[in-house]
Structure 1
Amino acid sequence: MTTKESHIDRTSHEPRDSFLPGQWLDLYYPPFPPNQKPGGFTITSSPYPPSPTLELAIQSPPSNTPISPPTQYLWTSPSSSLLNTKVKIRIGGSFTFPPSSIPLSNLKKVLFIAGGMGINPLMSMLGYLSNEKNQDYKTKIEVDVFYSVKEPERGLIPETTREILFLERISGLFAPYPDENGGLRGSVRLFATGSNQDQGNGEVNVSGVNIPVVRRRIRFSDIKEALGGDRENTAVYICGPPQMTDEFVEGLTSSGGLGIHVDRVLYEKWW
């Protein structure tokens, strides 16, 4: 997957609509015909610091595959035809951070679990947490990221990490900064699937941060271990394929599982 950030900047407007970390937008483009079906795109930028632009994750359309008109408009239109063009957007979505019923000050741990493209809405949440506006919370909240990806054909080496969507940016959020602000407190763990399973587990250096690599799918036992014993002050965000999402939500919230209150387990399914 790739993104079209240059087009993203040109499809925002000033003043920008407010949004919450994790939300999406519906986009309408000119000439705005009657009954136009909008295109839904996840917002990957953070609401803070305020900016007149929005960053969207837009998948590169595979060749010979039908794509929606809004995606085609953003991806294939010449830059000259998009520059200064006015579009209409509508913000929506309830998969947001922090949980609506839990103040950020009441959280001590947040676990983000992403399967493939499920990383998209989590990027806005991570960016929000890392902003200096939340400096007091950054030092108190432990943030862990489980990211399940398809391993590049050449393996996970520094030269191929750019092939994994947002990995360099995520790593940078956890890297220690040379000033007093510092990065997020916590860790990132990659779960890599593909043809290199025989290589075993290891780590890869991304933006100066050594990220553990586990060559298998995420297991519920990984989640249980990461959460530890303090589950009253925890929130878990899951975004990925339906089967993965259903399994983890059931294990986290059921009486036969960890029994975490449903208000603290938020999820969104990606097909």
Structure 2
Amino acid sequence: MGKQREGHLERTAAEPRDADFHEVRLGRVEQVNERVRLFRLDLVSGPIKFLPGQWLDTYIPDVPKAGGFTITSAPSAALTGPSPYLELAVQESPENEPAAWLWRPVGEILGARLRVRVGGRFVFPPQSGGEGVAASVLKRVVFVAGGVGVNPLVSMLSYIAEGHERDAAALDVSFMYASKMPTSGNLSDIVFLDRITRDFGEGKVKGKVKLFITAARDVATSQQQQETRYINGAPVEMQPRRLTIADIGEAIGGEDHEGTVVYVCGPPPMTDELVEKLAAVMDSRRVLTERWW
């Protein structure tokens, strides 16, 4: 995401997107860690309807190219309540003009008005085309996130936690999250880990959370060991290594994958490797992915 040779609109030209634009106001900026900021966009016009996993064409004042940023809030947040909003998590990226603008000093950008448009086909529940995955028979969802690839998946998880699925209580969810340890050494600085574990810990989502952690450059690897920690009441299996195809194989279970769908979102090397290997063990139409950079 953000490479100069090809902008967001060019990369996503074949993707579906809404015809209508909406105006939003940048109402809040939160520094999650040294690399990621969280933005709350208050709706000036709307409401806005979207599916979990979709992104925004984001038009920023005096920036010629539109940015593309995944919506990390649940769809309900843009429809209900006294102050409907959208949420974005944006990684620092100086070479990406829209992202660089969002990383300017907070006082310079807070209150600014932007224009946004919803787009994308990487969504939950799965939109079955032809013989694809039918949401009506969905029994197991495996989310595989790498770094900020967690962004669309956390919106999908929030949607499930709200109980929108017909048999949400019976849906088994495995959330597999590969991340570098923040330079602070604090798990709480891992993007959306608090939100993910709350959904599981409060019983809103049934299933497992697995965290695959590699050490940051200045965090000693001796601090990391395989263990289970309870975070917000949810048992989190922590592995001090890379996530592998064997880990996903364990999550999807045996040969009957009819009611299983896998969502993969992360850096291209990780995504490409896992999607290719998954094609050998399950119907590729049940493996959904999106690449951003």
Scaled by the length of structure 1, the TM-score of the pair is 0.82
Paired residues for 1:123-134 under 5 Å: 123-134=154-165
Paired residues for 1:108-147 under 5 Å: 108-134=139-165, 136-147=166-177
Number of the residue aligned with 1:228: 253
Q: 1:106 aligned to 2:137?
A: yes
Structure 2: distance between partners of 1:37 and 1:141: 40
Structure 1: distance between partners of 2:270 and 2:252: 18
One-letter identity of the residue aligned with 1:111: V
- CA change 1:223–1:79 in 2 (3 A) is same
- CA change 1:175–1:246 in 2 (3 A) is same
Q: 1:188 aligned to 2:220?
A: no
Question: Quick check: 216-225 or 202-211, which moved more?
Answer: 202-211
Question: Quick check: 211-220 or 261-270, which moved more?
Answer: 261-270
Number of the residue aligned with 2:229: 204
> CA RMSD for the aligned pairs?
2.2
One-letter identity of the residue aligned with 2:168: K
Structure 2: distance between partners of 1:219 and 1:30: 42
Q: Which residue of 76, 79, 94 corresponds with 1:48?
A: 76
Post-superposition offset of 1:154: 6.5
Contact 1:151 1:192 in 2 (8 A): yes
Structure 2: distance between partners of 1:238 and 1:120: 11
Higher strand share: 2
Number of the residue aligned with 1:266: 288
1:232-261 deviations in whole A, cap 9, x for unaligned?
1100000112122112111222xxx21x22
SS of 1:112's equivalent? Answer: strand
One-letter identity of the residue aligned with 2:291: K
Structure 2: distance between partners of 1:196 and 1:234: 35
Structure 1: distance between partners of 2:213 and 2:61: 41
Q: 1:91 aligned to 2:91?
A: no
- CA change 1:31–1:154 in 2 (3 A) is closer
SS of 1:48's equivalent? Answer: helix
Contact 1:13 1:53 in 2 (8 A): no
Contact 1:99 1:263 in 2 (8 A): no
Post-superposition offset of 1:78: 4.8
SS of 1:212's equivalent? Answer: strand
Structure 1: distance between partners of 2:180 and 2:226: 14
Number of the residue aligned with 2:21: none
One-letter identity of the residue aligned with 1:234: T
Q: Percent sequence identity over matched residues?
A: 42
- CA change 1:43–1:264 in 2 (3 A) is same
- CA change 1:193–1:31 in 2 (3 A) is closer
Contact 1:161 1:206 in 2 (8 A): no
- CA change 1:76–1:45 in 2 (3 A) is same
1:161-185 deviations in whole A, cap 9, x for unaligned?
2211100000001013xxxxx4101
Post-superposition offset of 1:3: 2.0
Paired residues for 1:231-242 under 5 Å: 231-242=257-268
Q: How many residues align?
A: 246
SS of 1:120's equivalent? Answer: helix
Number of the residue aligned with 1:3: 37
Number of the residue aligned with 2:10: none
Contact 1:197 1:215 in 2 (8 A): no
SS of 1:3's equivalent? Answer: strand
- CA change 1:74–1:214 in 2 (3 A) is same
Post-superposition offset of 1:221: 1.1
Structure 2: distance between partners of 1:188 and 1:227: 14
Number of the residue aligned with 1:25: 56
Number of the residue aligned with 2:104: 76
